[in-house]
A = this chain, B = another copy of it.
């Protein structure tokens, strides 16, 4: 059995990691840290875990963490970068679910995240953990930067178009909608059900941290600068992201064939039949990204619909997928449950 630890287990990505790892046949969770809840049984905070995990939250400690084969960071941005260097040194491998190692350009990261990076050299080493583009590099990585939720849905949705070079690399639009669990479990008036229930709004239109991440992904794939507009919206529901993507075709292409061919061997990307409209519930609790591609009225605008569960393929599930790859396990282990529908 592989021993894994989780730093910051009280948030939604933490409990989701525990849910997924509870069903993983090759892994045992030996440490879950939380300063605020140290000593409290995990299943006291999350009763769905009763009978599955008996260990309590503990204070983060280099000793106990470095005894793990792999450590997940499910912490706020800026926490992982302080602990990761020493863990790597002690031979631990790391998957960071926060944003500390996602952006290669340090000044850009510092500008968007409002802090100084404490280990830029590890950013260079870190592998961006989107298996659909980086599987081989992930296999041998010591440190994986797990992608953001919007970037996952959006990058996978645009990927075949960008790789094939059949759209303009400017004027892309990513109109994305997320359930509230994507915003985390911190106390805040803006996320009260009284504020966001039965209502809908955009947020962060002037600038959202996931924009530079998406842009980096697409530009890397295109090997040239890709320019896009990204707008995030908050859905009155708990789980699920729907990215509606727009691009201008520059070449006549069989889009359906392009998508099916690109993702044929991907275990977690599912291209729906022509004319489909994926629902977020079709991936609730599952690690899949389901995609449909449209060309309305045969015009030159391609519309891609891409859905994920923001806590699974958009966070904890992708982290487990990365762990599986890193450890040489079957990539789909622990990730085979059917989505909860209805």
Query: Which residues of A pack against B, CB within 8 Å?
Result: 12, 15, 18-19, 22-23, 46-52, 171, 173, 175, 177, 180-181, 183-189, 191-203, 205-207, 227, 229-231, 233, 235-240, 242, 244, 246, 248, 270, 272, 275-286, 290, 292, 294, 296-297, 299, 301, 303, 305, 307, 311, 336-342
Q: A47-B278, A177-B177, A189-B187 are in contact. Are A200 and B242 (CB under 8 A)?
A: yes
**A282: shortest Cβ distance to chain B, in Å?**
4
Given contacts A193-B236, A230-B296, 20 further A-B contacts (CB under 8 A): A19-B341, A22-B338, A47-B282, A47-B290, A48-B282, A175-B244, A180-B197, A187-B187, A197-B198, A198-B237, A198-B281, A199-B280, A199-B284, A200-B280, A202-B244, A205-B277, A205-B305, A229-B303, A236-B236, A285-B285
Residues of B within 8 A of A15 (CB): 341-342
Which one of B48, B280, B336 contacts A339 once the chains associate, using CB atoms below 8 Å? B48
Cβ-defined contact, A337 with B280, below 8 A: no
**A336: shortest Cβ distance to chain B, in Å?**
7
Which one of B52, B199, B303 contacts A205 once the chains associate, using CB atoms below 8 Å? B303
**A298: shortest Cβ distance to chain B, in Å?**
10
Number of copies: 4
CA A246 to CA B285, docked complex, whole Å:
32
Which one of B47, B230, B282 contacts A279 once the chains associate, using CB atoms below 8 Å? B47
Chosen A-B contacts, 27 in total, with CB atoms closer than 8 Å, are A19-B341, A22-B338, A46-B341, A48-B340, A49-B338, A50-B270, A171-B248, A173-B175, A175-B246, A185-B192, A193-B236, A193-B238, A194-B238, A198-B237, A199-B342, A200-B235, A201-B242, A201-B279, A201-B305, A202-B244, A202-B277, A231-B296, A233-B244, A236-B236, A285-B285, A311-B342, A340-B340
7 nearest interchain CB pairs?
Answer: A199-B281, A48-B339, A175-B175, A193-B193, A48-B341, A201-B279, A47-B282
Most chain B CB within a 10 A radius of its CB, from A47, A180, A307: A47
Most chain B CB within a 10 A radius of its CB, from A22, A194, A227: A194
**A323: shortest Cβ distance to chain B, in Å?**
18
Which one of B171, B177, B292 contacts A200 once the chains associate, using CB atoms below 8 Å? B177
Cβ-defined contact, A197 with B237, below 8 A: yes
Residues of B within 8 A of A294 (CB): 205-206
Closest to A180 in B: B193
**A15: shortest Cβ distance to chain B, in Å?**
7
Q: A51-B270, A192-B192, A244-B231 are in contact. Are A342 and B303 (CB under 8 A)?
A: no
Residues of B within 8 A of A237 (CB): 197-200, 236
Most chain B CB within a 10 A radius of its CB, from A46, A240, A307, A339: A339
Residues of B within 8 A of A290 (CB): 47, 50
